[in-house]
Structure formats: structure tokens, C-alpha cells
């Protein structure tokens, strides 16, 4: 199949959004990585050795309150109400005023 007829591959940021969107309360970092790996396996997409580092870097680049964050609106956050390394979509990016956290 010619290259120009193939659908473009999603970026890591798009993969992060897709993994976190169904989980408004967020997911642990390990579960995010697992979801991205499963998604890539499902479409027979390459899983590079440095995938986790690339995903972490992309998350931090667009995470509210992170020192590595680039300019622009944050896409992700680390919910303060959650223990451990939990990643979530930022409430404003998700299109809601507040992400409902349940205990």
C-alpha cells in the first residue's frame, strides 16, 4: 500500500489523551503505559525500547504544575487527591469545570 494512502499514526500525546479520556479520575502511570502498549499491539505498531521515557516526557511537557511544561494550555495533571503516581486529563482540557474524584 502506498505510504500516502495510510492513515497517519497518532502522536504520543494523542495516545496519552486516548488512554486517559475514559478515566476521569485518572490512572496510575503503570496502567497508562500498559494501555498505550496494548493499543500499539492491537494495530501492530512498533513499541520502541524507549517508549516509557517518551510517554513520560510528553506527559510532563503538557502537565499542569510540572517544571518541564511548555507554554500553552495544560492537557494533563497529577490529581492532588490521589496517592501515588496518578495521571489524568486536565479538567479544562476535558471540557468540564472540575473532574469528579471519588474516594
DSSP letter string over 49-86? TTHHHHHHHHHHHTBTT-TTPPSS---EE--TTS-SSE
What pLDDT does 73 receive?
78
Tens of pLDDT along the chain (103 residues) come to 454 556 677 799 999 999 999 998 999 999 999 999 999 999 999 999 999 999 999 999 999 887 777 777 789 999 888 877 999 998 776 554 444 433 3
> How many other CB atoms are there within 10 angstroms of residue 19's CB atom?
22
Residues 6 or more apart in contact with residue 9 via CB below 8 angstroms? 45
What pLDDT does 84 receive?
78
What pLDDT does 103 receive?
32
Rg (C-alpha) for the chain, rounded Å, is 15
What pLDDT does 37 receive?
96
What pLDDT does 82 receive?
82
Q: How far apart are the first and last CA of the chain?
A: 50
Query: Do 27 and 77 contact (CB within 8 A), yes or no?
Result: no
What pLDDT does 102 receive?
35
What pLDDT does 81 receive?
83
Amino acid at each position: 500500500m502506498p505510504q500516502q494512502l495510510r492513515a497517519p499514526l497518532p502522536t504520543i500525546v494523542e495516545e496519552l489523551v486516548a488512554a486517559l479520556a475514559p478515566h476521569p479520575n485518572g490512572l496510575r502511570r503503570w496502567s497508562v503505559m500498559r494501555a498505550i502498549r496494548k493499543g500499539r499491539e492491537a494495530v501492530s505498531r512498533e513499541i520502541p525500547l524507549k517508549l516509557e521515557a517518551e510517554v513520560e516526557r510528553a506527559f510532563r511537557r503538557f502537565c499542569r504544575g510540572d517544571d518541564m511544561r511548555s507554554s500553552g494550555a495544560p492537557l494533563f495533571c497529577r490529581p492532588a487527591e490521589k496517592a501515588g503516581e496518578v495521571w489524568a486529563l486536565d479538567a479544562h482540557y476535558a471540557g468540564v469545570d472540575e473532574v469528579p474524584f471519588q474516594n
